[in-house]
Chain A
């Protein structure tokens, strides 16, 4: 029952059995974690029934019936506590959360600046290039996540000679494809109501394909080597099922370059580099 309006309150004031009014757009989440699955979005003015409280989180029932958690930290910006606690409410102990695993899929697009900058610049005309791909992530309620991703870089340049660091182009097309398949383990942490930061690291299988015009298969390159990477990024919750984010990754992929070709001429043996990505994530 609505008892009062416009009273600012702390979580301690809004005991279970009371109500709160959302004053700004917000979300109801599956668990009392900023990086858990978003169950619903709440429009300003919505009144929620408080089922439990674990400061700074409220367990609430949303108008459409879903039950979840709403952050009360700095809640003055987002909610007003409207009701007093009821006698039948449970004690304000921490909720018992079932450790649930969320599964998310993502697509990503970005650009890589290769560590072997001179080699890529000689053959493709650029030391950086676009990468796109996608993957899947399993996020656990304790913040850990595990993900697998697939990416692809492709550029068509030309065969060259390098003499005294000077590049001489031959006009023969040369297509380079780099395909990293990576697994990452990391940790996610909410930094605000809608923003989650994360860091991680892992290994990858980096496939390099190089196909020259008029060459036969034996003359082309198709090799895969293991590389290592670390990454970090931020996600922003757009809807209960959609996140957007930005991510940076540094990868080290030894042993695949530097034995022949222009990479040998430039003494560059690392196929890795620094990648900046835009990510679009969909939660299930």
Chain B
């Protein structure tokens, strides 16, 4: 696995007499980082978040990240986890697998069975080619499938945040939808498989090692106390349900990036509370499941690669959510390679009546490859691939197209106007993503300063659909296949008449979907 040690479930210290807990993980020391034990110490904090309001001058996170990649300082978009493959054995061959990695004859040095999976993760010898090993394993009769542990990227295009209203919610008729369904009910839980969530007030002690970026060496910060705060416009008492961090393997999936908090905000930002912005399903419970590795996860040693989410973690998180009672899953992530392990996990979840919304991809101008796991949704009733549109209901410039796009939702388009992104609360990037500062100004991050920022991407579109699914679930429509059909039937047709590869069945129409159908309309 990517992380050499993870705490088992339930190993965390809890209770009133325990005010701190220590989580230890080790990184494998890729790139500029050396092997070291990754340590984080969490102390609950009574200090709430600092609200900086609307973000008028954005840190251009995407630009900075692209610069870092172009300079070859680190690969923010690795295709797969090195020295690792996922394999699912046929039932009859489980005994073979149990004989050990060496018996497979592909240079595997270890076999691990994740807690929430029906597959195995093989650790390969350093330098082994996961693609070649997967091909070899797929030739075996005792292997159902084998694949590299592909890395998925968060599907958003960070923005130049300017102040604007949430045109996106109006566009899909959410106000009218609320007339009949005021934000869903707390009987419904939505799992957000992402970079985590700003959901608790705490101070976490990390060991921050040295790293290199943009050709510049950043010093080790050593042991630092990083303040976290719950997003006050998103988290309320009893709102968080069974959170889990598949990167640090603990129950504190705090957001070290901001993507997950922003996505979760569109889905369920507290509404009608005289604070900030609104979300679609503001009464449902939230299950943050962290799989996306951000720069800080890497710098802090919680992950051996940066950045993205491994299929093994995604699949495990999907199964975790389904088994723990989630009603809806949102996945605002993806990559260009198919993934049987994630596809199977999605089918498993849908089989348990869990609706799955998946971002359709932002790669239209990058060759427009099919993006997975969204592309798998085409063949799974109850899972929906979501494209993005701008405020004029035109396909956003980045939004991938193809037969797998099933529906579209507001993703924003800030190419010409910064106001046209999707506005939500998120940790202030200038305080959180300090690694983009020059080394002389580099310092510890803080995740207790919140701002309202515009993001764009199909990452932002997908939670609209997940939110609508939550509202329909609250209405008693439990079958995810019916939810998918309802969304498509009631969508506002765009582009070519009928379904097309740009818009799928059209723009999600929340008011209409929640009204259902009458005799003639």
Residues in A lying within 8 Å of B, measured CB to CB: 116, 119-120, 123, 158-163, 166, 168-172, 174, 176, 208, 210, 212-216, 219-221, 223, 256-257, 259-263, 265
Contact = CB atoms under 8 A, between A and B. Distances in A.
A163 B482 contact: yes
Given A161-B482, A168-B479, A172-B180, A223 B520 contact: yes
A32 B479 CA distance: 70
Contacts of A256: 520
Contact of B476 (A163, A170, A219, A262): A170
A176 B518 CA distance: 9
Pick from B481, B485, B515, B516 the residue with the most CB of A within 10 Å. Answer: B516
B47 interface: no
A150 B208 CA distance: 83
A120 B517 CA distance: 12
A8 B491 CA distance: 81
Interface residues of B, number: 21
Nearest to B179: A214
Given A168-B477, A170-B476, A171-B476, A161 B179 contact: no
B519 interface: yes
B515 A262 contact: no
Contacts of A162: 517
Interface in B170-186: 176, 179-180
Contact of A170 (B485, B511, B516): B516
Interface in B438-493: 475-477, 479, 481-482, 485-486, 489
Interface of B: 176, 179-180, 475-477, 479, 481-482, 485-486, 489, 511, 514-521
A260 B477 CA distance: 21
B473 to A, nearest CB: 12
B479 A261 contact: no
A63 to B, nearest CB: 58
B517 A161 contact: yes
B515 A172 contact: yes
A257 B519 contact: yes
B521 A221 contact: yes
Contacts of B475: 170-171
A169 B472 CA distance: 11
A163 B481 contact: yes
Nearest to A116: B519
Contact of A262 (B176, B511, B519): B519
A159 B521 contact: no
B517 A262 contact: yes
Contacts of B481: 163
B515 A219 contact: yes
A123 B179 CA distance: 21
Given A159-B515, A161-B477, A215-B515, A257 B485 contact: no
B233 to A, nearest CB: 27
Contacts of B485: 161, 163
Given A161-B482, A161-B485, A262 B179 contact: no
B180 A213 contact: yes
Contact of B518 (A166, A169, A216, A262): A262
Contacts of B517: 123, 159-162, 260-262, 265
Pick from B516, B517, B520 the residue with the most CB of A within 10 Å. Answer: B520
Contact of B489 (A120, A161, A166, A214): A161
A119 B519 contact: yes
Given A212-B515, A214-B515, A219-B515, 5 more contacts: A123-B519, A161-B489, A168-B479, A176-B519, A210-B520
Given A163-B482, A163-B485, A168-B482, A210 B519 contact: yes
Query: Which 7 A-B pairs have CB atoms at the shortest separation, nearest pair first?
Result: A159-B516, A170-B516, A163-B485, A214-B180, A261-B520, A161-B486, A214-B179
A182 B209 CA distance: 86
A98 B514 CA distance: 66
A159 B518 contact: yes
Contacts of A174: 518-519
Contacts of B519: 116, 119-120, 123, 174, 176, 208, 210, 221, 257, 261-263
B353 to A, nearest CB: 13
B521 A260 contact: yes
A106 B137 CA distance: 84
A170 B477 contact: yes
